[in-house]
Amino acid sequence: MTQKKVAVILSGCGVYDGAEIHETVITLLRLDQRGAKVQCFAPNIAQHHVINHLTGEEMPESRNVLVESARIARGDIKDISEANVEDFDALIVPGGFGAAKNLSDFAFKGTECAVQPDVLALAEAFAEAGKPIGLMCISPAIAAKIYGPGVVCTIGKDADTAAAVSKMGGEHHECDVSEIVEDKARKLVSTPAYMLANSISEAASGINKMVDRVLELTQQE
């Protein structure tokens, strides 16, 4: 079997204003354990805001999404504008509020949200190429923006977020933290992760299944 190449989009560093670190590390670990070659990407833009993760309060400073994401990727990360769908077999987007604040503005505009243009262009390219995508935590909230009406996904069991997904045209399926929801027609796999998880091992139970399934789907023509 040829080594699979997976693009991972990060949204900063830290659950409240960037990529969820546990979700990202679990994803990267599982991909490595399964022999995949990974390249991380992030948009080279200013974060929406910076949150003090000790107090939960906003800090009077500005940070860059790509620079902050580089912390998790150990510096091995590229500007998402350089990403080419032809170089990869699959795409995965960890959650964290950065997915709803930096990769999109879902946290602020809800059903009227827009996805950051470079992120949307890359995700749409994977969708159009029929290549699998994995979304977790809050990131499935933008699934309908990528795929259009009828896309099947999960954010777990949060009623308000599920209602927003449905209003945007998605078909939301409730899901336990250790399970995945697959849109077979679109090769989209989603899992709740920290939308439901109470521990890192609970988050990993679903994320590992999602990563495994995404990699399986890369072998289907």
pLDDT of residue 107: 95
The tokens describing 175, both together, are 């899901």
Residue 137 is a catalytic residue: yes
DSSP secondary structure letter of residue 202: H
Assessment of whether the complete model's pTM goes beyond 0.95: yes
Report, in angstroms and rounded to the nearest whole number, the Rg of the chain calculated over CA atoms: 16
pLDDT band at 220; cut points 50, 70, 90? confident
Residue by residue, DSSP assigns 2-15 as PPPEEEEE---SST
The burial class, CB within 10 Å (0-12 / 13-18 / 19+), for 220 is exposed
The tokens describing 91, both together, are 């795409």
Residues 55-72: what's their mean pLDDT?
A: 97
Q: Is the pLDDT of residue 16 over 90?
A: yes
Would you kindly state where each structural domain of the chain is located, as residue ranges? 5-217
- Nearby residues of 197 by Cβ (< 8 Å), 6 or more positions away: 177, 203, 206
Annotated active-site residue in 13, 40, 113, 137:
137
* For helices 21-33 and 65-72, angle between their N-to-C axes, nearest 10 degrees: 50
Alpha-carbon separation of residue 159 from 111, 152, 166 (angstroms): 14, 16, 10
User: pLDDT tens digits, residue range 105-164?
Assistant: 999 999 999 999 999 999 999 999 999 999 999 999 999 999 999 999 999 999 999 999
User: Per CATH, is 5-217 categorized as 3.40.50.880?
Assistant: yes
